[in-house]
Structure 1
Amino acid sequence: MHTLLFLLLLAGTHSATARTHSLKYFFTGSSQVPNFPEFVYVGLVDEVQMIHYDSNTMKAESKQDWMLKATDSQYWESETQIGLGHQQWFKVNIEIAKERFNQTEGVHIIQWMYGCEWDDETGEVKGYRQFGYDGEDFISLDLETETWIAPTPQAVITKLKWDNDKADLAHRKNYLTQECPDWLKKYLEHGKSSLLRTELPSMSLLQKSPSSPVSCHATGFYPDSAMLFWRKDGEELHEDVYVGEVLPNHDGTFQMSADLQVSSIPPEDWRRYDCVFQLSGVKEDIVKRLDKDSVESNREKPTDVTTIIIVAAVVALAVVLAVIGFIVYRKRNAECPPSPGNDPNVLKPLNPQ
């Protein structure tokens, strides 16, 4: 299933000095989805949402302070009108899609995503424009051939119509390869203090049990275009290694893990392995050497014998002192009965003389 709403087109290589930026717009129209607007569209720069519109508010709104500072009321009025126009387009086209698929009732979703990517080192630009229906690809634009791709029979009629509109194809290509990158660069300049920052992660090695893999965990980094991998003697490993996805943290940074199966590695060879983190825009790698002493574990460590003896002695001494104190207390109370002022059973006078 290829759900456009969650589609991520990320470029990543082990050359972490270059950085790929993106500008994407996601549109979603729905039918009979409870507690969800019939139409929503969002705009994202480098996966950070900066604009939002939905059919409940019927108003385009900023999601970033830097967007408000860089735009005026005319900009937001224009975005609101764009949202209203697309809202009507989706309402009509979801009914067309239902007819194409011979559907009448039920929950249905039509989605549209377009945008571009720009490599700030090479200047390479990639554009994309595609539609989905009920979680499956419906039709997409191939910029190389300037034709539409229809993976389902229900989309062929749309492909034939759009392929014949050469003026529209030229307009779409110009936007995706020229105008979209220009807007992307403007947004990056407006939000550079946030979007172009780099934050290095803290790294740790974790292991649940002696037979478990060692997990190299990096957290707190930004942006999300990062690489994490294991090496042996300086060579990258692919076998016995599992690399997880980049996941968001609550503070806007990211985290990821790479697991290494160590059950077959002799203890004396552990130091031949290291975990490497690379962040887009940062030249130097962060390296964590695999070492028994640096691996954290949640399993209980064996208690030192000396520690046990000391603890036992302290406990015994405390017991002895408590017994002695109790004996002395009983002896003093027998010789000196409590005075009325210290006896809780005797009332004190209200006005003592």
Structure 2
Amino acid sequence: MLIFIFLLLMEIHSTAAVTHTLKHFYTTSSQVTNFPQFVAVGLVDDVQIDYYDSNTQRCEPKQNWMKDVVDPQYWEMKTGSCLCAQWTFKADMEIAKQCFNQTEGVHIFQRMYGCEWNDETEEVTGYEQYGYDGEDWIKWNVKVNRWIAAKQQAEITTNQWNNDRVELARKNNYLNQECPAWLKKFVDSGRSSLMRTDLPSVSFLQKSFSSPVSCHATGFYPNRAEMFWRKDGEEVHDGVVKGEILPNNDGTFQMSVDINLSSVAPEDWSKYECVFQLSGVKEEIHRLEKTRIRSNESNIMMIIPVAAVVAPIVVLCVLGGIVFIYYQKKNQTKTRSQETASLSVMTDDSQGSNPSDKPLLRRKANPNS
């Protein structure tokens, strides 16, 4: 699908520092149709490494190299941990609903935890937080090793957790010691995949002739990338809207940056260029050319000349058919008037798809994963 021109555009700096990440996401839902009640996923450098849901009740690897870094027993333990979290989070959901005096409706309860590791400075940062219906609920403060309530309704739970010094010590150890150890192990095993660089396919898109021009890059990896508009060597900020880096289904990423050129004369559009920068790789420069812009209106304009030629031909064919039918009927009438025998008429019809998990108001000790 993508063509990567490595020899011309890649200049890899092997000494460049990289911050690696290990993230775990737990999500339980209430009354969400066509979605598992509980889902758990793990990611290394934003690449999914495992998956579990309440329908299959099995935790499975999502990368081939994950099968080499751990033994089969790991997945049995991980499955048991996720199964326990599934029931724990179901209880957490009910407690959260009670705190907000809710009984029915769609609700989402989430937990995110993990760590970051700089492979040059060896700096490590751990983090964990809970969310309810898209808003922060409780956060772990790494500097003071305490839980912080993001909502008034979470203060009781926060106080209970902060009074458990044994659990706080265990939490601190996991997020600052065990988690980075796992992360380093995963990165080392998946280095050939995680440390690769894939260059993007870049194109210019426009909904209509009066719409902003979008510079769209897709298929790049890793997600440490930047893209912006430039004119005469200077970065342009006015009329520019940057989009977020989003994941593709194949493990690569995409992003867009739009620019409004409605006040720029058409002959000056070629002075603008879209610049894409991938970490450790030489920047790509794509000069804006009207012939490279893909838009819905341009497709319509391509159809108009064809229609202008075809329409008269169709009209002539229809008129010719009418004339033919007229004379045919006239001749048939003349023939019938001269015949004395009855005629028979014939017709022709044609049819043509970790850390311990604890309920908000009680604790359930489980091994980390």
User: Map of 1:186-265 to 2, 5 A cutoff?
Assistant: 186-207=185-206, 210-265=209-264
Match of 1:63 in 2: 62
Contact 2:20 2:116 in 1 (8 A): yes
Structure 1 residues 169 and 290: alpha-carbon distance in aligned structure 2, compared to 1, 3 A threshold: same
Q: CA deviation at 1:87?
A: 2.5
Cα displacement string for residues 132-170 of structure 1 (whole angstroms, at most 9, x for unaligned residues): 223322111111232222121210001111222233223
Cα displacement string for residues 48-67 of structure 1 (whole angstroms, at most 9, x for unaligned residues): 22212233333222222221
Structure 1 letter corresponding to 2:174 = Y
Match of 2:151 in 1: 152
For the aligned residue pairs, the C-alpha RMSD in angstroms reads 3.0
> Whole-Å Cα distance in 1 between the matches of residues 286 and 102 of structure 2?
56
Is there any run of 5+ residues in structure 2 with no aligned partner, and where? 1-15, 314-369
Q: How many residues align?
A: 290
SS state of the match for residue 197, structure 2? coil
Structure 1 residues 202 and 102: alpha-carbon distance in aligned structure 2, compared to 1, 3 A threshold: closer
Does 2:135 correspond to 1:136? yes
Structure 1 letter corresponding to 2:46 = E
User: Map of 1:8-157 to 2, 5 A cutoff?
Assistant: 18-157=17-156
Match of 1:343 in 2: none
Is there any run of 5+ residues in structure 1 with no aligned partner, and where? 1-16, 316-353
SS state of the match for residue 114, structure 2? strand
Contact 2:52 2:82 in 1 (8 A): yes
SS state of the match for residue 171, structure 1? helix
Structure 1 residues 60 and 275: alpha-carbon distance in aligned structure 2, compared to 1, 3 A threshold: same
Structure 1 residues 276 and 166: alpha-carbon distance in aligned structure 2, compared to 1, 3 A threshold: same
SS state of the match for residue 168, structure 2? helix
Match of 1:290 in 2: 288
Q: CA deviation at 1:247?
A: 3.0
Match of 1:179 in 2: 178
Q: CA deviation at 1:203?
A: 2.0
SS state of the match for residue 188, structure 1? helix
Structure 1 letter corresponding to 2:281 = K
> Whole-Å Cα distance in 1 between the matches of residues 138 and 23 of structure 2?
17
> Whole-Å Cα distance in 1 between the matches of residues 139 and 248 of structure 2?
32
Deviates more, 1:149-158 or 1:33-42: 33-42
Cα displacement string for residues 164-202 of structure 1 (whole angstroms, at most 9, x for unaligned residues): 223322322232222212211211222222222110112
Structure 2 letter corresponding to 1:137 = D
Structure 1 residues 188 and 265: alpha-carbon distance in aligned structure 2, compared to 1, 3 A threshold: same
> Whole-Å Cα distance in 2 between the matches of residues 196 and 68 of structure 1?
18
Cα displacement string for residues 27-81 of structure 1 (whole angstroms, at most 9, x for unaligned residues): 1233444444333222111222221223333322222222123221221121122
Contact 1:214 1:261 in 2 (8 A): yes
Cα displacement string for residues 237-262 of structure 1 (whole angstroms, at most 9, x for unaligned residues): 21111122223334332222212222
> Whole-Å Cα distance in 2 between the matches of residues 121 and 241 of structure 1?
34
Contact 2:69 2:185 in 1 (8 A): no
Structure 1 residues 142 and 213: alpha-carbon distance in aligned structure 2, compared to 1, 3 A threshold: same
SS state of the match for residue 217, structure 2? strand
Deviates more, 1:183-192 or 1:206-215: 206-215
Q: CA deviation at 1:278?
A: 0.9
> Whole-Å Cα distance in 1 between the matches of residues 267 and 32 of structure 2?
59
Structure 1 residues 250 and 93: alpha-carbon distance in aligned structure 2, compared to 1, 3 A threshold: closer
Contact 1:208 1:299 in 2 (8 A): no
Structure 1 letter corresponding to 2:54 = S
SS state of the match for residue 299, structure 1? helix
Contact 1:50 1:67 in 2 (8 A): yes
Identity %: 59
Contact 1:130 1:139 in 2 (8 A): yes
Structure 1 residues 41 and 248: alpha-carbon distance in aligned structure 2, compared to 1, 3 A threshold: closer
> Whole-Å Cα distance in 1 between the matches of residues 31 and 292 of structure 2?
54
Structure 1 residues 300 and 187: alpha-carbon distance in aligned structure 2, compared to 1, 3 A threshold: closer
Q: CA deviation at 1:266?
A: 4.0
